Homo-oligomer: A and B are copies of this chain.
Amino acid sequence: MDRPEAQTTDRKDHSMPEKPLIKTLRGEVLERPPFWFLRQAGRYLPEYRQLRQQQRDFLSFCYSPDMAIEATLQPLRRFAPDAAILFSDILVVVDALGRSVRFVEGEGPVVDPVRSSEDVASLRSSEGIHDRLGPVYQTVRGLRRELPETTALIGFAGAPWTVALYMVEGRGGTDGGTARAWGYVDVDGFGRLIHILTDATVAYLGQQIEHGAEVVQLFDSWAGVLSETQFRNWVVKPTTTIVRALNERYPDVPVIGYPRGAGAQYETYVAETRVNAVGLDSGVPLRWVASTLQAQCTVQGSLDNQALVAGGAAMDAEADQILDILGSGPLVFNLGHGILPHTPPEHVQQLADRVRAWRRTEGIA
């Protein structure tokens, strides 16, 4: 696969001490876990809502490096998490593959649906996506220069199944029924779509890394609707391909997989894909995570975003439970799902303070 040359050498900087997030993703257990929050940038922040006034079209906003950089940095100024995550959307890849994507206010994304082998054949190849995605790579490069020196930069992409779901259904808010049925009726045809998305994801994340992303996360937000057979075909296999390709080329860049809703299949996912870390949704029982998943890799999660809406003692209790059960192993503290628009920013502050103040009881140097 051809990739454009990176134009800078900001990918590695050996003079810097390693960042807490990176150390943890390599399996080290620090005095307190690093943290960041899913959708830490976004609508719950008044400064974000103000910024969006300058560009109401969401896709154009994502493709404006200045604005995307500013949106990424906003939560860092308030909460000083251990990581920034590129402000973008998983559907930019669909746009870059040549399929129309619109974001309709109050309704979410609308995609010109892909429903046939002809539709799949009409998609651009993965080498053709970079022109359109150039502004995202510029955002990554700009961010890498702006970040505090202990803050890690996370790039991301939607995982093939989750992106395919939006492409086939044409919108969110479904359980992917049309895509799932297609995957049973015509396993080869649907498999070609997954294959194209797998290639595109490797190319896209590769370029994010070339431009400065130090960690990448694969969002498989709709992994939970699949049967065991389809989970193996559409989640585990493509993710394994992506992780292997990225680890070969960029062995120093950890890959976090986040197969939301995978339930008991989290175990297979971790064992087979060889992700460096796994993102947990809020429904995964913590002691099972400690004994089954954390023995194999770093875990990230899993506070209920509704506990963050509630705040107060209930939220503290939920956070403490995660820290107490998973904090003695490699843990990146995070939510199980993104921050909701009506979340009070002071609750996020309270949570950041709580995690920052926590210490492992056994005490390490």
**Residues 320-364 of chain A, each 1 if its beta carbon lies under 8 Å from chain B, else 0:** 010000000000000010001000000000000000000000000
A340 to B181, CA, bound (A): 12
Q: Does A262 contact B (CB under 8 A)?
A: yes
In the assembled complex, the CB of A299 is this many whole angstroms from the nearest CB of chain B, namely 13
Stretch at the interface among A125-133, A151-159, A203-211, A226-234: A226-234
Which residues of B have CB within 8 Å of A264? 263-264, 266, 284-285, 288, 292
| Contact across chains for B310 and A184 when beta carbons are under 8 A apart | yes
Chain A 159-201: CB-based contact to B (< 8 A → 1; otherwise 0)? 0000000000000010001001100110100000000000000
CB atoms of B181 and A306 under 8 A apart: yes
Q: CA of A185 to CA of B306 in the docked complex: distance in angstroms?
A: 10
> CA separation between A226 and B285, bound complex, in Å?
11
Given A228-B286, A286-B228, A314-B184, do A177 and B306 touch, yes or no (CB 8 Å)? Answer: yes
A306-B265 in contact given A228-B283, A283-B226, A318-B229 (Cβ < 8 Å): no
Which chain A residues (216-236) contact chain B, with CB distance < 8 Å? 224-231
Complex Cα gap A135–B185 (Å): 42
State in angstroms the CA–CA spacing of A268 and B262 once bound together. Answer: 17
Contact flag A283-B229 (CB < 8 Å), given A184-B314, A261-B261, A306-B184: no
Whether, in the assembled complex, A307 has its beta carbon less than 8 Å from a beta carbon of chain B, the answer is yes
Closest-CB distance, A246 to chain B (whole angstroms)? 26
Q: Which of A250-303 contact B (CB under 8 A)?
A: 261-268, 282-286, 288, 292, 302
Q: State whether the Cβ of A304 lies closer than 8 Å to any Cβ in chain B.
A: yes
Q: Is A134 an interface residue (CB 8 A)?
A: no
Q: Does A123 contact B (CB under 8 A)?
A: no
Q: With a CB–CB cut-off of 8 A, which chain B residues contact A340? A: 177
A187 neighbours in B (Cβ, 8 Å):
314
Query: In the complex, are the beta carbons of B263 and A284 less than 8 A apart?
Result: yes
Please name the residue on chain B nearest to A305 by beta carbon. B177
- The CA-CA distance from A177 to B339 in the complex, in Å, is 12
Cα distance A229–B317 in the bound complex, in angstroms: 10
Please give, as numbers and ranges, the residues of chain B lying within 8 Å of A229 by CB-CB distance: 304, 317-318, 321
Q: Do A283 and B225 touch across chains, with their CB atoms under 8 A apart?
A: yes
Between-chain CB contacts (< 8 Å), 9 pairs: A180-B304, A181-B306, A184-B314, A227-B302, A227-B307, A229-B321, A230-B304, A263-B266, A264-B266
Given contact pairs A228-B286, A263-B264, A265-B283, enumerate 6 new A-B contacts (beta carbons under 8 Å): A181-B306, A184-B315, A225-B283, A231-B283, A264-B284, A264-B285
